[in-house]
Structure 1
């Protein structure tokens, strides 16, 4: 049988570049789509990457098999159109599926990742072997053709990765990215089909016109469902799906939800009202610093709803505070919805907390508050001995470091993090509910550390005033709780795995 006539070299290259890039756009956006339902953890990222690679592997294999059995010119346009349809269906599948699979169990994470990326990535991955087969008209140039198309496919993936991470995510919501990609794939499919029919009238696209019309209808229906599917976000920042809910029981009460988790509570009328128990514990630590009501210099790693900085500003007028917050979009939301007002005495630096911490002067702060999270997980690079050493560097003598940690039985992460902080600070304690310390429930833990002896009795007296009973553990009891936990370092910090038990 005569080999199918090749596509023009530029068209073949553009086709592979575009298809490979589209797969990477889907992979990156999938991480943002599934985050509100199952979190943003190493396991979630690994699941999305693994499912994407599986789709690429199976799609490439099937594309090669089909290229040997059929004229690839018949299959390229339908592959693009099917990819457009399944891309448009991604939003309703994830958003309705996410409500059912909400949580973090491994099967739910894998299934949600598959709903987000597998089918469109699988279909798009058939395009490269189909295109390669068309271009192999001269066996003496096989290496050149395969190498060129492979390299441009990789360049397309790189371009899409950088473009999505640096431009698209910052410029538009994830839903717009997905629907725009679906529209581009559909236009490419129709355009390629029209060009092939014009240049190669002998080529007949598979399926009847009615079948193709059904596919188009399904794609449009999917796009409509995606646009109207329930979303847990009021806005999407570069890092979070964020929402602010009013508290029906408290007129000024507002709850900030990030990726569907209750992250912060702010009372617009009373900044001294601390709703969450762990924030009350941190408030107690603020209260024991220096003479009551005296201004302090405070550094906050993570802003969230700015509850603690606002509490310091209200209870200790004249304090100088710096908040290191990664998400500039979240700071803008706080200004619009949560009454945040920044100025010379409450400054914000947008950027990674560890990078920004390194720029701070020695012995510059009376208190450092660590409350930075990616969903429910402390970012691993903020949980290491090297990070704790840098925090110690910026603290004055007598200064306090308060770090919020979330963990669940068997409490492997909090033990490791306590061992890590204790490896740097000579005086360490932990605040937590009794049942959490006994390994019966998951909860917040607040680590307290200083280079100077801790005012244990004074801290206990202030903790007695909080809403719910809480334990303060230090000395031999703390060493027993830590046990043989390993110190976390920049070279070894499996935070997600420790939390997963």
Structure 2
């Protein structure tokens, strides 16, 4: 695995691995979220889970632990499990960017597949998939089989969030959303949050997939999106379905898997 580089830029420390910017962390202000997709993950969390009530979180992918620090800051006492197989990265982050006192963040040196399989049923209120290798989401973390394990781990009323990079048209995201609905069962809803140009198929970018067995708070998500620094929108469950005509889940059983599309050069 590539060695992490830490570059200070004012109050923010950037973490770069293998030429890719993985995280941006502010130790003095954990509420400062630099990447747009991290802001979008946070707005989804705020729309579903009221502050400052603790929430049980499983993070699949850790890097600089930016979102775990934010959850601790906004919801003190939240028990959090971070599945991060890159042990040297975790050690470097702990050394360069120590976690705050009183945190309940536990980093496990496990892959998403191994780590989620070992979790108890209904043990998480929130599962966040933000795992990339070489700039792409590993194929094994978007199959309907793995999403079924996530569904097992989610408690009633639980929320799955996934950070997905995709091309214009969001066909990859549509297949992941289809898998999430199949895994969560009848009545499950999926929505997208992203920058307007990404949602309108005008460029490659990140989209946050939100999925739940319960009705998603779309109005609250849209109000929060309207307050974002850059133009951000929400695609409601009905439109996700209409856009996804013909999209079917990725499946390891069918040997039908794919990494997320690679970012353009």
Question: Is the TM value for this pair above 0.5?
Answer: yes
Structure 1 residue 332 and structure 2 residue 91: aligned? yes
Structure 1 residue 395 and structure 2 residue 157: aligned? no
Q: Name the counterpart of 2:234.
A: 472
Q: Name the counterpart of 1:459.
A: 221
Q: 1:287-302 alignment to 2 at 5 Å?
A: 287-302=46-61
1:155-194 alpha-carbon deviations (Å, 9 max, x no partner): xxxxxxxxxxxxxxxxxxxxxxxxxxxxxxxxxxxxxxxx
Q: 1:101-250 alignment to 2 at 5 Å?
A: 239-247=1-9
- Structure 1 portions without partners, runs of 5+: 1-238
Q: Name the counterpart of 1:61.
A: none
Q: Name the counterpart of 2:207.
A: 445
Say whether the 8 Å CA contact 1:386–1:489 is kept in structure 2: yes
Q: Whose helix fraction is larger, Structure 1's or Structure 2's?
A: 1
Q: Name the counterpart of 1:95.
A: none
Q: Distance in 2 between matches of 1:262 and 1:364?
A: 31
TM-score for both structures, normalised by structure 1 = 0.50
Q: Distance in 2 between matches of 1:290 and 1:385?
A: 26
Q: Distance in 2 between matches of 1:296 and 1:496?
A: 30
Say whether the 8 Å CA contact 1:363–1:397 is kept in structure 2: yes
Q: Any idea what SS the aligned residue of 1:300 has?
A: strand
Q: 1:91-102 alignment to 2 at 5 Å?
A: none
TM-score for both structures, normalised by structure 2 = 0.91
Deviation at 1:366, TM superposition (A): 1.1
Q: Distance in 1 between matches of 2:181 and 2:257?
A: 18
The equivalent position to 2:138 in structure 1, one of 379, 404, 427, is: 379
The equivalent position to 2:252 in structure 1, one of 479, 490, 499, is: 490
Say whether the 8 Å CA contact 1:241–1:260 is kept in structure 2: no
Deviation at 1:285, TM superposition (A): 1.9
Structure 1 residue 307 and structure 2 residue 66: aligned? yes
Q: Distance in 1 between matches of 2:71 and 2:128?
A: 11
Give the length in aligned residue pairs: 260
- Structure 2 portions without partners, runs of 5+: none
Q: Distance in 2 between matches of 1:338 and 1:375?
A: 23
Q: Distance in 2 between matches of 1:440 and 1:241?
A: 34
Say whether the 8 Å CA contact 1:383–1:493 is kept in structure 2: no
Deviation at 1:341, TM superposition (A): 5.1
Say whether the 8 Å CA contact 2:15–2:64 is kept in structure 1: yes
Q: Any idea what SS the aligned residue of 1:495 has?
A: coil
Larger Cα-atom Rg: 1
Q: Any idea what SS the aligned residue of 1:331 has?
A: helix
1:247-274 alpha-carbon deviations (Å, 9 max, x no partner): 1xxx220111111111111012111100
Q: 1:271-282 alignment to 2 at 5 Å?
A: 271-282=30-41
Q: Whose strand fraction is larger, Structure 1's or Structure 2's?
A: 2
Say whether the 8 Å CA contact 2:52–2:75 is kept in structure 1: yes
Structure 1 residues 304 and 297: alpha-carbon distance in aligned structure 2, compared to 1, 3 A threshold? same
Q: Any idea what SS the aligned residue of 1:439 has?
A: coil
Q: Name the counterpart of 1:139.
A: none
Q: Distance in 1 between matches of 2:260 and 2:194?
A: 22
Q: Any idea what SS the aligned residue of 2:183 has?
A: coil
Q: Any idea what SS the aligned residue of 1:334 has?
A: helix
Say whether the 8 Å CA contact 1:380–1:493 is kept in structure 2: no
Deviation at 1:419, TM superposition (A): 1.9
Deviation at 1:420, TM superposition (A): 1.7
Structure 1 residues 343 and 359: alpha-carbon distance in aligned structure 2, compared to 1, 3 A threshold? farther
Q: 1:18-33 alignment to 2 at 5 Å?
A: none
Q: Any idea what SS the aligned residue of 1:396 has?
A: strand
